[in-house]
Chains A and B, each alone.
Chain A
Amino acid sequence: MSEQSATHTKAVQDFLAEAEEIVEQLGSELADLSDMAESGELVPDVLNSIFRGAHSLKGLAGMFSFSGVAELAHNMENLLDWLRLGKLNLTQQLMAVLFDAHELLSTLIRVLASGEDTNMAVEIAACVTKINACLAPPEKQSGASPLEALGLPAHIRGALTEYEEHRLKDNLAKGRIIFTIHTSFDLSTFDTELSVVTDLLKGCGEVISTLPSVGENLDTNIDFEILFGSKCTLDTLKTTVERDNVTVAQLGSSVAPEQPKVTTEPFAPETVKAIVDTGVPAVAVIAAPQTPAPTLTPTSDDAVLSAKSMSRTVRVDIGKLDELMNIVGELVLANSTIAGVTTKMRNEGFSHMAIELGKAAKGLERKLSDLQKGVMEIRMIPIGQLYEKMSRIVRKISREQGKRVDLKFFGADTELDKLIVEDISDPMMHIIRNAIDHGIEPGDVRTAQGKNEKGTIKISSYQKGNHVVIEIEDDGGGIDVEKVKNKALQKGLVSDITAVSDREAIDFIFLPGFSTNEVVSEVSGRGVGMDVVKNNISAICGMVDIETRKGEGSRFIITLPITLAIIKALIIRCSGRTYALPITSVLESLLMTDKDIKTVERKEIVQLRESTLPLLRLEHYFDIRRSDEPPKEFYVVVVGVAEKRLGIAVDDLISQQDIVIKPLGDSFKRFRGISGAADLGDQRTILVLDIGGIINETMRSGS
């Protein structure tokens, strides 16, 4: 099957979803690995898990004939196999190759998912060459295998994978003692019971392999032989894990290691207790050795519970949730229609029935709002998922730039709509790139200024009312306002710089084509930066503000709505027409008369406290001829997107209400100032204003 024609089948969709998951996990594990490479403490499990990820991906991609992904994953797997088998040392250079390969892998998956016909063979070949360059011919292993002396039972040795054999040798080389731990558990609960034991073991050594075996009661029980490497003595290990059904034996010579100094600490009773406390049903076996093993009851609650616990999550296409949300939205509207009819009935004298119906409608409304909340919660994901991606980027860029940067995260569990999280990822990445590129000074400059040589970027997120705020703060040089002003003058963005305040000047960096750095860097110096950031954030009804102090650093504050699925809107009327304004962009509304409006250079403005605000009349904007007299008193709705503010003159404020924005379709796409339509529930459909678009257009024509 050709790669293109296959892109839309269900199986391929499943593949892409799983591949994406694997690649995402690979990313965070590679980051961990990189930390370990730096500290020199390699955890074999992490390396093995990365290997398994690449391995699975290769197998899957091969089945679907996605040869590019399969080839790249195959070569990564090769390299990782050498690493995990100890044939290679993990160097920073090798780490860089792995990061690059991972980056390319995720690009390949993205390209496949988008169904584009992009040939990446050249990139893949280049990456594969780089990977292969890391593979040196393996050294001949000399001497007898240390495993011979160990006296490992043949049935255990026979089932060891090459990797497990290597882990065993490595443990021996590190002077650890090898133990076998024999367990016998009930068939219905063995996995939870076994994990209690392995958790205890992992606290003081490495579990090399877990071999299931046949014991005396093969119909009711399953036995395991755990191969375990540790510096502990046999006695300590015995007191830690040994029970009725768990026995420990030492393999090979019983020479005690030089100093069993690590022994007592990990086994403090609190540790054991902590693990026991968090354990699930089977803990009783550990806590109370006297408890007889439960008899086999395949239909007992325990058995059902443990069988179910395997997969507690469901993967759902976000499109399906959108559909569900739409239906919920329509139900809410249908319900308000019923409430409207009820009120009418009461007014017309069907009071008894009207009251009954009113009660029913109220009950329905409550349940509907629960339903709405439920569906909304399904869409929510913690923003922490992005953090992993960010730390990858920071590592990559700081490596390229030769700057040392510490990344700190706060509020990883703040939740946001999945789609918003996806859309905010690029702008955040760009701001971070910018902070490393332009914000954080080189190490020597920092030391000269008395700052820590290592720069810090702090990302924090928190909920604030109906919004989520994400702050990205660096401790670099801050934005040089004078430099920004000069640049603006140079580029002809302003003619007179004296009239521009510092605050306004900072906003220049959001203009297209603006870049203050003399040297164009690979990542963020192409001058396509901040205006794209701003537009992307505006597109999801967000705002971005900057606070900066010269020499101390800058802070980008992004304010986002929690969800876009159902939004609160302000319903307004102007020239006999009704419109909805997303409440997220409404800052305040003021009652005014004609006297409050001034005209400066043929543009209407209003005074808002200390500042002046450009005023827009919707009837002018949409070119509607008024059929009625304009009211003497009218409202000015102050709207803001990002850092721009605008007053919109409207005849009347009608209500605030939840709306579901529906797209107008391609034929209406070119109409400016409208972002979609919404149903008001009384069979009326109204247009929703695109505040971001309106503000941009007004500002442009105004300057």
Chain B
Amino acid sequence: MSSKTILIADDSATMRAMLVAIVDALGDYQIIEASSGFEALRLLPRDHVDLILTDINMPDINGLELISYLRTNPNYKDIPVFIISTEGSAKDIEKGKQLGADEYVVKPFSPVILQQLINRYLNKTSRHVS
């Protein structure tokens, strides 16, 4: 089985490192890191991406704008997207869901729960419409 690729978009280096460690612990996944929305947009066409973890608050474009783009682009519309952000921006989260984010993970979160979610989405052969 070829390994699947996860793109992590977050402007905090520490947060990225933490997410990488959490994903690494699962073993067989490739990871692409993006430190901004723009970088995510630039990296997306280069590799096939199977799952995206994104923050909402980022410089240049924010997570919602990124999701909106992904969902309107036929190349990316089926990639599962998890929003990883702190509670508090309730309205933004609601919008994220409307835009088509698949999961919403609240910081601080338990690594195990994120790992379970990742496995649930990536061990399926095709994406299940929820």
Task: Give the interface of A toward B (CB within 8 A).
Answer: 11, 14-15, 18, 52, 55-56, 58-60, 62-63, 65, 70, 74, 77-78, 81, 155, 158-162, 187-188, 190-191, 194, 209-214, 218-219, 222, 298, 306-307, 310-311
List, sorted by A's number, 19 A–B pairs whose CB atoms are closer than 8 Å: A59-B12, A59-B85, A62-B107, A63-B15, A63-B108, A155-B68, A159-B65, A159-B68, A161-B56, A161-B91, A194-B38, A210-B65, A212-B61, A214-B69, A214-B73, A214-B74, A218-B74, A222-B41, A310-B39
CA distance A279 to B60 in the complex (A): 17
B34, chain A: closest CB distance, angstroms = 9
Beyond A59-B85, A310-B36, whether A212 also contacts B65 by CB under 8 A is yes
One of B1-9, B23-31, B92-100, B118-126 contacting the partner = B92-100
Known interface pairs A62-B108, A211-B61. Does A191 touch B69 (Cβ–Cβ under 8 Å)? no
Cβ distance B26 to chain A, nearest Cβ, rounded Å: 18
How many chain-B residues does the 8 Å CB contact rule pick out? 45
In the bound complex, what is the Cα–Cα distance between A160 and B41 (angstroms)?
A: 18
Report which of B12, B65, B72 forms a contact with A209, defined as CB distance below 8 A. B65
| A14: contacting residue among B14, B59, B61, CB under 8 A | B14
Interface status of B116 (Cβ within 8 A of chain A): no
A81 to B92, CA, bound (A): 13
List residues of B whose CB falls within 8 A of some A CB.
Answer: 11-15, 17-18, 21, 35-39, 41-42, 45-46, 56-57, 59-62, 64-69, 72-75, 85-86, 88-89, 91-92, 95, 98-99, 107-109
From residue B38, how far is it (CB to closest CB) to chain A in Å? 5
Is B68 touching A211 in the complex (CB atoms < 8 A)?
yes
- Cross-chain contact A18 with B42 (CB below 8 angstroms): no
CA distance A188 to B66 in the complex (A): 17
Provide the bound-state CA to CA distance between A62 and B15, in Å. 11
Are B99 and A158 closer than 8 Å at their CB atoms? yes
Q: Shortest distance in angstroms between A311's beta carbon and chain B's nearest beta carbon?
A: 7
The 4 closest A-B pairs by CB, nearest first: A62-B108, A212-B69, A159-B68, A59-B107
Q: Do residues B36 and A58 form an inter-chain contact, with CB atoms below 8 A?
A: no
Per the bound structure, the CA–CA distance linking A78 and B89 in Å amounts to 10
Cα–Cα, bound, A187→B38 (Å): 10
A374 CA to B19 CA, complexed, in Å: 35
If the complex has contacts A214-B69, A218-B74, A310-B35, are A161 and B95 also in contact, measured as CB distance less than 8 A?
yes
What is the bound-complex CA distance between A81 and B45, given in angstroms?
A: 35
Residues of B within 8 A of A14 (CB): 13-14, 17
B11 touches A56 (CB 8 A): yes
Cβ-defined contact, B12 with A298, below 8 A: no
Q: How far is the CA of A81 from the CA of B46 in the complex (A)?
A: 37
Determine whether the beta carbon of A210 is less than 8 Å from that of B107: no
A171–B78 Cα gap in the complex (Å)? 36
With a cutoff of 8 Å between Cβ atoms, the chain B residues found around residue A158 in the complex are: 68, 95, 98-99
CB contacts (< 8 Å) of B65 on chain A: these are: 159, 209-212
B91 touches A162 (CB 8 A): yes
Contact B86 A155 (CB under 8 A): no
8 Å CB contact of B88 from A77, A161, A187, A222:
A77
Give the distance to chain A from B79, nearest Cβ to Cβ, in Å. 14
Q: How far is the CB of B10 from the nearest CB of chain A, in Å?
A: 9
Q: Is the interface of B mostly helix, strand, loop or mixed?
A: helix
Residues of B within 8 A of A155 (CB): 68, 72
Known: A14-B17, A209-B65. A190 touches B86 (CB 8 A): no
What is the minimal beta-carbon distance from B64 to any residue of chain A, in angstroms? Answer: 5
Q: How far is the CA of A252 from the CA of B58 in the complex (A)?
A: 29
**Residues A59 and B18 in contact in the complex (CB < 8 Å), given A52-B57, A158-B95, A162-B92:** no
Q: Which residue of B lies closest to A222 (CB)?
A: B41
Whether B15 and A161, one on each chain, are in contact in the complex, defined by CB atoms closer than 8 angstroms, is no
Q: Which residues of B contact A55 (CB under 8 A)?
A: 57, 86
State which of B13, B17, B57, B95 has its C-beta within 8 Å of the C-beta of A159. B95
In the complex, besides A161-B62, A190-B41, 18 extra interface pairs with C-beta distance below 8 angstroms are A11-B14, A14-B14, A18-B13, A59-B108, A60-B15, A78-B88, A81-B88, A155-B68, A162-B91, A187-B41, A190-B38, A191-B60, A213-B72, A214-B69, A218-B73, A219-B75, A306-B42, A310-B35
Cβ-neighbour of B66 out of A18, A212, A307, A310 (below 8 A):
A212
List chain A residues, Cβ under 8 A from B60. Answer: 191, 210
Q: How far is the CA of A56 from the CA of B42 in the complex (A)?
A: 23
CB contacts (< 8 Å) of A214 on chain B: these are 69, 72-74
Min Cβ gap B48→A in Å is: 14
Q: How far is the CA of A374 from the CA of B65 in the complex (A)?
A: 43
Task: Check A60 against B14 for contact (C-beta < 8 Å).
Answer: yes
* Contact, CB under 8 Å: B74 / A56: no
Smallest Cβ-Cβ distance to A52: which chain B residue: B57
Give Cα distance in the complex from A11 to B45, angstroms.
31
Closest Cβ–Cβ distance, residue A63 to chain B (whole Å): 5
Known A52-B57, A159-B95, A212-B66; contact A62-B13, beta-carbon cutoff 8 A: no
Report chain B residues within 8 Å CB of A188.
42
A156 vs B69: C-alpha distance in the bound complex, in angstroms?
10
The chain B residue with its CB closest to the CB of A189 is B42
Bound complex: CA A184 to CA B10 (Å): 25
Q: How far is the CA of A55 from the CA of B15 in the complex (A)?
A: 13
User: B36 contacts which chain A residues (CB < 8 A)?
Assistant: 310
Which among B56, B60, B62, B67 has the greatest number of chain A C-beta atoms within 10 A?
Answer: B62
The residue on A at minimum CB distance from B67 is A159
Q: Residues of B contacting A187 with CB < 8 Å? A: 41-42, 45
A298 to B44 Cα, complex, angstroms: 12
How many angstroms from the CA of A75 to the CA of B127 in the assembled complex? Answer: 39
Shortest distance from the beta carbon of B63 to any chain A beta carbon, whole Å:
9
B67 CB to closest chain A CB, in angstroms? Answer: 8
A409 → chain B, closest Cβ, in Å?
27
Q: Are B69 and A211 in contact (CB under 8 A)?
A: yes
What chain B residues lie within 8 Å of A306 (beta carbons)?
A: 42
Q: What is the CA–CA distance of A252 and B3 in the complex, to the nearest angstrom?
A: 49
User: Given known contacts A11-B18, A18-B13, A158-B95, is B42 in contact with A191 (CB within 8 Å)?
Assistant: yes
**Interface pair A159/B99, CB less than 8 Å apart:** yes
B18 touches A63 (CB 8 A): yes
Contact B64 A18 (CB under 8 A): no
Let me know if B39 and A161 touch, CB within 8 A. no
Residues from chain A with Cβ under 8 Å of B108 in the complex: 59, 62-63, 65, 70
Partner of B21, one of A11, A59, A162, A194: A11
**Cβ contacts under 8 Å, B98 to chain A:** 158
CB distance from B40 to the nearest CB of A (A): 10
Bound Cα distance A187, B36 (Å): 15
Write out the residue numbers on chain B whose beta carbons fall within 8 Å of the beta carbon of A311.
35
Q: When A161-B64, A161-B89 are in contact, do A63 and B107 touch as well, CB less than 8 Å? A: yes
CA–CA, A162 and B95, complex, Å: 9
Within 8 Å CB of A213, what residues of B?
A: 68-69, 72
A158, A161, A162, most chain B CB atoms within 10 A: A161
Do A15 and B14 form a contact, CB below 8 Å, given A187-B45, A190-B42?
A: yes
Q: Is the CB of B64 within 8 A of A159?
A: yes
